[in-house]
Amino acid sequence: MPNVDDLFGEDVGVNLTIPPPATELRWRVDDLRRRGCFQCVAWSKLGTIASITADGLFVDFRYLRCDPDDGSWQLSEPTRCDLVTGSDHIPLVHLSWSSTSIPELAIIDSVGRVALLTFSIALNRPYFFRKWDADPVDDLNAVVGCYWLSLTPPGRQHNVLHGPAVRDNNRYRYENSFAHSFGPFHPNPSKSALVCVTTNGQAKLFFSQNTNRIEETSLDIERISSSDDLITHASICSDKSGLYIVMINASKQMRLVRLTIQWGQPVVDKQPPATLPLNPSLSDRRLASTSWLQPSLNESPLDSAMGLPSLVEILPSTLESDAHSWAPPLILIARSYLGSPDSPYQEPQSIIDRWQVLADQKQSVHPAFLALGGQKQNSSPELPTTTRLRRGESIVFNKVIIGLQTITQGKVICITFADGTLEYRDRLTMAEIYNEPHTDRIMNLHQVGFSFTDPTPSLQTILSPTNCSLVQMCPDGEVKWKPVRYTEGDIGNSPSDLLAGLTVAAGSAIYYTTSFDDVLAVARSFVDKRRFTFELTNEVITMLKVPVDYSEESHHDKLVRNTHLQMCLSITNHLGFKGQYHPRAFASKFSALALNARNIVILVTIASNTPPNIREKISPLDEPEVVDALAGCANWSIDLLSWLADSLFNLVDDPKFTGLVKDPNKFAGLAAYLQEKNDVALHLLLCSSTRGLLSAVCRRLQHLETLGNSVVGYWQKNGQPSQVDGKSPNLALHKAYQRMQQITSSSLVKAQEFEKLLNLLGADIRSTYSTMLAAMVSKAAGQPPPQPGAAINKHLDSAIKTAQLQCELGLLLGVGIHPMFRKALGQFFTGHLSAFRATVDPAKLFFKDYSLLEVASDSPLSLENKKNAGIYIDMFRKVAMSPSDGPGGDEATGGMVAGVPVWDGQWRRCVRCAAVMDDVLSQRPGFTYVLAQQRKCACGGAWGSLAKDRLLG
């Protein structure tokens, strides 16, 4: 044998001993072995990251946020919850989020008390949904397993999986797959319910009554006669016939139970009336039992040393790869071994044991019983099959497992380890996947070259709802956020496989109204690539089949309700945001104005059209806060129309622009010139989606002008009674309507005139589509152009609509203006705009201050002035605000300093676009109703509440 010292040197300094596991990891594994419910970090579908402090006394809330200074993404500072606290003897031990549109968080302590919090306003501001004051303090009630019921899917049977992205030559097409959704469901489709299993064998159901009051019912599913019968771990899942519950007790027995929920409502085809009270009852059926600690088929010398489970999971049935047969439910039990200095095996190891739940156990009747009945032995009755548990081959890991999590609607299992690494396994075969690029069928970013780099030791690791980032609870108690990183080098100019991976991740989240902020954080690192933002947004629109052509729509209801279009605009809005004191990219500036216009249309509509069922209880237009907010919206809308008019007049006076419009050979450079000027005004008018929003803004302005004139005129005619008279109007309401009337009556641009301009342009564009575009498509198809009024064959009509859609998509994303619009633009600027110019004073428009729009002026001087002034625009009320110290004010204004409302305590900031709004609270029902429509920012991002000293941080 060669001399080792000759090979490596005399003092190689190599220590081949394995360092002992950290003390914190030993404590964490002991906790997992002690009780099934010990999840200290949880991530909601809307983006709140809840974590229990290391001492078990408090819960902290964090979220991903866009830095307002440069647009980068980071984890927010923790916000401590003061509603629910633990103690030294009764710590908090478990967190679990529901999947409802307004998330609910279950906080459970070591004796099984359950508190429910709801997050209806901001990601880090909870409200009590259920208090645990009435829960008994008894160790036997400790929760060992819990589960939130699934939400009722739109089709009541399937959840749609957007993806995979399938390679088709050099492009990708997006397919849809389906995952069955199993009940039971809460009778209200928007609500869930929490099922818990306690150590003394009780199943508890916490559900929301139709009056929104939380109630509870329970059932004993296991008889406890000694300490060996106490349940240590339980896992619950929905399956075809109800809920499966797998339980493990102190004597190493594993039992499988089916739990059925009857809601006490009549079975009808339609949804039961909401007024019908719920009266649920629970019933159980024991299916199978066995000892979970059995000799493994995959022998490990440490198998017998892992006598306690740390994780137990049961996964529901799922379709096999052929989509024709069902794979049975699967039970997974993870066990871990941590080496010690006095042990011959110092290397850590973990084992996952598997059991399949098979309902194929045949039953037979003993011949003696057949003889009693006088039946022949060959004529035994058919008995239903019973359930059995079939042991599968165990999987051994040379690491400590700290978590099991399912992703992709339960089709993939993610295993997290204490060293910070992750491993993905196929649900059906348990084979390892996502460990190398695979770009033929993309369903995960790991398949296109992304991975989690620089793993660090972790006590608990949780994937985000999009699986594009994770949070770790480190041994020192710190919570870290890590997004996936691209590890394949330079991507070039927007490769199709990377775009397809990001599209599948973002599109699926958009469809299920889940936060996709970490997808934007990943995509942000590629925004400097040419056309990246356009191509990503274009792919998302293609995948979700988002309607973008509204050239034929005269009513704007469908346009405003198009939330998928809002999310696509939100993508371009964020990816072009470079900081609050930096100019935005062209597409971001376009999207920011469109999103704010859409939000104003919604607010005015909501405030002016109270639903009939609550019209007798609330009247928003009779409350000064609502009218004051609508006056601010009117002011912003008038500034928008004025700025658009001024921008169009500047284009008319620009010789280079007019030369590009007039010269057919130079017209192709028109869009590039507008992008160079960062002037989005013309695109806002040409694109049918934004033109429709502008038209809706004009109509809302006319409505507010009529409303203000009628109310103020009534008071002027009848006089304002004294304040002593109980029938007199509120003075604040009177001032609010006066402000609204003054704003609308002094507008430099009349809304009806601007709407007329939009209608003329829209008619010209529709004419262009029906003549020039139809002729172009017909010529390309080798057919004669269609005659006016003549029927068009189906294939040609489809081709024309497709071409029209592409034109609208190009205008929406700001990449080009088709040459066929040259005639319409010439007519617009020389005819329609000239007539409109006669109705306004261009000089006043030129000198008007447009700072209220925020994105209108992006010159270095204006941005510097904005930074020095320290003024912010309230996204809701559309007024200027300052975070400077000053006196607090009344409920309606919040205080004034130098004519600017002063922040008197707390703001909300959008986590995606960094917009702000005053965190106003009111007891008035109408204002509360209108404000409830602002649960999210105009861009669709969630709100984070800011403490006073963290506004700029």
Q: What is the mean pLDDT of residues 873-881?
A: 91
Check if the beta carbon of residue 710 is closer than 8 Å to that of residue 604.
Answer: no
Task: Give the Cα separation of 916 and 907 in Å (integer).
Answer: 7
Q: What is the mean pLDDT of residues 299-327?
A: 83
Q: What is the mean pLDDT of residues 610-627?
A: 86
What helix, strand, coil percent values describe the chain, rounded to 5? 35, 25, 40
* 235 membership: H or E segment, kind and range: strand 231-239
The Cβ of residue 669 has, within 10 Å, a number of other Cβ atoms equal to: 14
Classify each residue of 379-412 as buried b or exposed e, where b means 16 or more C-beta atoms within 10 Å of its C-beta: ebeeeeeebbbebbebbebebbbbbbbbbbbbbb
State pTM to two decimals: 0.91
Distances (CA, A) of 720 to 93, 268, 727, 737, 912: 61, 56, 10, 13, 46
Question: Which of the pair, 810 or 495, is modelled with greater confidence?
Answer: 810
The half-sphere exposure of 68 on its side-chain side, counting CA atoms within 13 A, is: 17
* 863 membership: H or E segment, kind and range: helix 860-869
Give the per-residue pLDDT at 455.
93
List the 171-180 sheet strands across, edge first.
Answer: 171-180, 158-168, 441-442
Residue with tokens 């002035």: 865
Q: For helices 496-511 and 532-544, what crossing angle results, to 10°?
A: 50
Task: Give the Cα separation of 543 and 15 in Å (integer).
Answer: 53
Task: Give the Cα separation of 847 and 836 in Å (integer).
Answer: 19
Task: Give the Cα separation of 279 and 9 in Å (integer).
Answer: 78
Establish whether the linkage from the previous residue to 819 is cis, with ω within 30° of 0.
Answer: no
Range with lowest mean pLDDT among 337-341, 423-427, 635-639: 337-341
Give the per-residue pLDDT at 898.
37
Task: Give the Cα separation of 413 and 310 in Å (integer).
Answer: 17
- What angle (nearest 5°) sits at the alpha carbon of residue 285, between those of residues 284 and 288? 135
CA-based nearest residue to 116, from 178, 53, 192: 192
Give the per-residue pLDDT at 573.
96
Task: Give the Cα separation of 929 and 377 in Å (integer).
Answer: 73
Question: Which of the pair, 435 or 245, is modelled with greater confidence?
Answer: 245
**890 confidence band (pLDDT: 50, 70, 90):** very low
β 386-391/395-397 pair status: unpaired
Task: Give the Cα separation of 44 and 63 in Å (integer).
Answer: 10
Report the percent of the chain where pLDDT is more than 70: 88
The domain limits of the chain are 35-137, 190-267+276-291, 546-719+728-851
Report the percent of the chain where pLDDT is more than 90: 64
Give the per-residue pLDDT at 283.
95
Query: Is residue 707's pLDDT more than 70?
Result: yes
β 469-473/309-315 pair status: unpaired
Judging by beta carbons within 10 Å of its beta carbon (0-12, 13-18, 19+), is residue 662 exposed, middle or buried? middle
**755 confidence band (pLDDT: 50, 70, 90):** very high
Task: Give the Cα separation of 594 and 584 in Å (integer).
Answer: 14
Give the per-residue pLDDT at 8.
52
pLDDT digits (tens, 9 = 90+) for 396-406: 999 999 999 99
**855 confidence band (pLDDT: 50, 70, 90):** confident
**895 confidence band (pLDDT: 50, 70, 90):** very low
DSSP letter (8 states) at residue 321: T
Task: Give the Cα separation of 373 and 911 in Å (integer).
Answer: 74
The Cβ of residue 788 has, within 10 Å, a number of other Cβ atoms equal to: 8
Judging by beta carbons within 10 Å of its beta carbon (0-12, 13-18, 19+), is residue 570 exposed, middle or buried? buried
Give the per-residue pLDDT at 38.
94
Long-range contact set of residues 675-680: C-beta below 8 Å, sequence gap at least 24: 675/586, 675/814, 678/583, 678/584, 678/585, 678/586, 678/589, 678/858, 679/647, 679/651, 680/586, 680/589, 680/590, 680/593, 680/814
Give the per-residue pLDDT at 214.
94
Query: Is residue 950's pLDDT more than 80?
Result: no
Give the per-residue pLDDT at 30.
93
Task: Give the Cα separation of 325 and 359 in Å (integer).
Answer: 14
Tokens encoding 101: 């549109």
Task: Give the Cα separation of 606 and 935 in Å (integer).
Answer: 14
**892 confidence band (pLDDT: 50, 70, 90):** very low
β 479-483/469-473 pair status: antiparallel
Query: Is residue 389's pLDDT more than 70?
Result: yes
Give the per-residue pLDDT at 816.
84
Give the per-residue pLDDT at 790.
64
Tokens encoding 113: 């008390």
Q: Which amino acid is at 572?
A: T
pLDDT digits (tens, 9 = 90+) for 807-838: 999 999 988 899 999 999 999 999 999 999 99
Distances (CA, A) of 377 to 365, 373, 381, 383, 385: 9, 11, 10, 15, 19
pLDDT digits (tens, 9 = 90+) for 786-805: 766 666 777 888 888 999 99
Tokens encoding 848: 């008007």
Give the per-residue pLDDT at 727.
44
pLDDT digits (tens, 9 = 90+) for 710-744: 998 888 887 765 444 444 457 888 899 999 999 99
Give the per-residue pLDDT at 593.
97
Mean predicted lDDT score pLDDT of the chain: 87
CA-based nearest residue to 522, from 563, 573, 560, 467: 467
Contacts of 287 (CB under 8 A, 6+ apart): 256, 257, 258, 357, 386, 387
Query: What are the backbone dihedrals phi and psi of residue 630, each rounded to the nearest 5 degrees, phi first?
Result: -65, -35
pLDDT digits (tens, 9 = 90+) for 445-479: 999 999 999 999 999 999 999 999 999 999 999 99
List the 193-198 sheet strands across, edge first.
Answer: 143-148, 193-198, 202-208, 214-220
Q: For helices 532-544 and 586-608, what crossing angle results, to 10°?
A: 40
Give the per-residue pLDDT at 857.
78
pLDDT digits (tens, 9 = 90+) for 329-350: 999 999 999 877 677 677 889 9
Query: Is residue 371's pLDDT more than 80?
Result: no
Give the per-residue pLDDT at 380.
57
Give the per-residue pLDDT at 692.
96
The Cβ of residue 330 has, within 10 Å, a number of other Cβ atoms equal to: 22
Give the per-residue pLDDT at 897.
37
Task: Give the Cα separation of 119 and 943 in Å (integer).
Answer: 10
Q: What is the mean pLDDT of residues 499-525?
A: 94
Q: Which amino acid is at 453?
A: T
Give the per-residue pLDDT at 730.
76
Give the per-residue pLDDT at 658.
94
Check if the beta carbon of residue 553 is closer than 8 Å to that of residue 559.
Answer: yes
CA-based nearest residue to 686, from 819, 506, 513, 811: 811
pLDDT digits (tens, 9 = 90+) for 53-105: 999 999 999 999 999 999 999 999 999 999 999 999 999 999 999 999 999 99
| Strand locations in 266-329 (E) | 281-291, 309-315, 318-319, 326-327
Q: How far apart are the first and last CA of the chain?
A: 64
Query: Is residue 435's pLDDT more than 90?
Result: no
Range with lowest mean pLDDT among 90-99, 315-324, 374-383, 488-497: 374-383
Query: Is residue 158's pLDDT more than 80?
Result: no
Tokens encoding 440: 């033929």
The half-sphere exposure of 94 on its side-chain side, counting CA atoms within 13 A, is: 25
Classify each residue of 599-638 as buried b or exposed e, where b means 16 or more C-beta atoms within 10 Å of its C-beta: bbbbbbbbbeebeeeeeeebebbebbbbbbbbbbbbbbbb
Query: How many DSSP H helices and E strands does the chain contain?
Result: 23, 44
Q: How many residues does the chain have?
A: 953
